[in-house]
Structure 1
Amino acid sequence: MNIAVVVGSIRKDSYNRRFAEALAKLAPEGVKFNFLRIDDLPHYDQDDDGDNAPEVRRLKAEVEAADGVLFVTPEYNRSYSGVLKNAIDQASRPYGQAKWKGKPAAIVTVSYGPLSGAMAAQHLRNVLAVLDMPTLNQPEMYLQWKDGLVDEQGNVGPASKDFAQNFVDTFVAWVRRFKH
């Protein structure tokens, strides 16, 4: 099983990337988490729909090859990041040819603030509904970044490990429900 991971932060020491990489270590045997690159995508421009840049073609192929998609994003101004929106738009166009369509998805937010990205997740959930991506409802995973969330070895810290493992196991089961 191939899970595409789209991290909505391109910051060098991104909390979201660090947590997503720790989550990937919890995947059961036979499940691969494939991190998609989005920092090199041009800004979406409808004029390019007939002649996508190589980076956009790569993204579309990776999304198409995925059995499911895990979105991991920070919250910026009560929404998800612009780079994530751009990636979603690139792989959803031209109209009627979205590569996201039908891909089971889940959302994780990691934020420094006390609201832990819940608003970003809700905005993203609205977009995924339009893209016809069945999105895991429970368990929700909106995390506040604190020391120990990811340990020095890059693993989910002990205080969150059981919760994270349950999330990964539930998400993998969710994706299997839709796998052909």
Structure 2
Amino acid sequence: MSYNIAVIVGSLRKESFTLKIANALTKLAPDTLKLNPVTLYDVSFFNQDLEATPPADWLAFREKLQKSDAILFVTPEYNRSIPGVLKNAIDVGSRPPGKSSFLGKPIGIISNSPGPLGGVSAAKHLQNILPGISGPILGQPETYLNGVGDAFDEKGNLTKEPLQKVLQQYLVAFAAFVDRQSKIAA
């Protein structure tokens, strides 16, 4: 069985390490996972006043989440937390109340940073935000990618072999997690 995975890219920068990691994941994924990077360029700001007639971009984003079997967040760390654009996307996707597009979907989290801590604070904040609006979150392996600044060539290809191995190990664990959760839900 193959599962469709929405890979939410938590950065808007066109040459971001986060987007490069999301693209690398699509190439490294096992056959059981079809990863679809979802950028947040077009997700407008959440405003509860608009909920009665949600903007088309909110509906399109929610539909991408609803059509997925699981969701994988790939995020940088901004000021010891997640980027505002990612929090906004979570707010948009989690509404209307009780009808979160994340609800019941297995969740994975990969954080990254060119620095030594690998975005651990961003990952921990996601672990605090998502319960109650999402499905189960993969607890192990925790993946905080540090030193990603020199991991890609000029074309954006992942060339750092140890990082490739970490991502492959994570994807194998995530695939097994998604499969287990799918069987539990059935």
Question: Which bracket does the TM-score occupy, shorter chain normalised?
Answer: over 0.9
Matches within 5 A, 1:96-175: 96-151=98-153, 154-155=157-158, 157-175=160-178
Q: 1:57 to 1:94 in 2, by over 3 A?
A: same
Matches of 2:14 and 2:134, distance apart in 1: 32
Gaps of 5+ in 2: none
**Percent identity between the two aligned chains:** 41
CA shift, 1:160, in A, is 2.1
Residue 10 of structure 1 aligns with an amino acid whose one-letter code is L
Q: How many residues align?
A: 180
Counterpart residue number, 1:178: 181
Counterpart residue number, 1:7: 9
Matches of 1:106 and 1:156, distance apart in 2: 23
Counterpart residue number, 1:32: 34
Q: 1:27 to 1:3 in 2, by over 3 A?
A: same
Structure 2 residue 82 is matched with structure 1 residue 84: no
Counterpart residue number, 2:44: 42
Q: Which TM-score applies when normalising by structure 1?
A: 0.93
Gaps of 5+ in 1: none
Counterpart residue number, 1:52: 54
RMSD: 1.5
Residue 159 of structure 1 aligns with an amino acid whose one-letter code is P
Q: 1:70 to 1:148 in 2, by over 3 A?
A: same
Residue 157 of structure 1 aligns with an amino acid whose one-letter code is K
